[in-house]
Amino acid sequence: MVGKLQAEIQQHKPFTSVEAEALLNILRTADGLTRDLETMLKPYGLTSTQYNLLRILRGAGDRGATCSAIGERMIKRDPDVTRLLDRMQKHGLLRRSRQAKDRRLVTASITLKGRRLADDLDAPVDAFHRHRLQALSKHKLAELINNMERIRNQHAVAALP
């Protein structure tokens, strides 16, 4: 029997392993969710990466966050956090300042405009999450979370071959 993903991507040969099929399902699902989130955020003038940055800075509060701290907390790693901060600062969504003790360290903080935008997006993003994952029960969602965490933890512990 041909799996749904195999039909979606019009692959005629079977997957080489169940692990390959599972990983490709994860990637295909993540891509679809990301594209839908990007579409939802577009009217607000944000990408999902920019929205993630706003949430990080809102959570950091008045103390803000350094570029390295932001990079570590990003859901999808962005190799050029500085350029991302430049774009967001240009739109008045954040401000940057140098630390007094170490002038090399730059801290980014959310502005009132950025906070309002992040706050305005709370309800639509929550509705997006609920709508896109409504096919799974709370129990199945908990299992999914647990399984994704297990995969990430294994990756963090074991070196890639």
Q: What is the tally of structural domains in the chain?
A: 1
> Under a CB-based contact definition with an 8 Å cutoff, are residues 8 and 29 in contact?
no
Give every CB contact of residue 141 below 8 A, 6+ residues apart in sequence.
133
Its pTM stands at 0.85
Q: Does 43 fall in a domain?
A: yes
Please check whether residue 117 lies inside any domain of the structure.
yes
Chain CA centroid to CA 67, Å: 16
Domain presence at residue 140: no
Tell me if 94 sits within 8 A of 88, measured CB to CB: yes
Domain assignment present for residue 142? The answer is no
Please report the pLDDT score of residue 158 as a whole number.
57
The upper half-sphere exposure of residue 108, i.e. CA atoms within 13 Å in the direction of its Cβ, equals 28
Domain-embedded: residue 128: no
**In this predicted structure, what is the pLDDT of residue 1?**
46
* C-alpha closest to that of 50 among 74, 34, 72, 27: 74
Residue 147 resides in a domain: no
Return averaged pLDDT per consecutive 10 residues of the chain, 161 residues in all. 75 87 92 96 96 96 92 87 93 89 84 97 97 96 96 71 53
Cβ-count burial 91-113 (b if 16+ within 10 Å, e if not):
eebbbeeeeeeeeeeebbbbbee
Q: Please give the Cα distance from 104 to 7 (Å, whole number).
A: 53
Report yes or no on 150 lying in a domain.
Answer: no
| Domain around 44 | 37-121
In a domain, 138, yes or no: no
Strand 65-66 and strand 94-98: the pairing is unpaired
CATH code for the domain in which residue 56 is found = 1.10.10.10
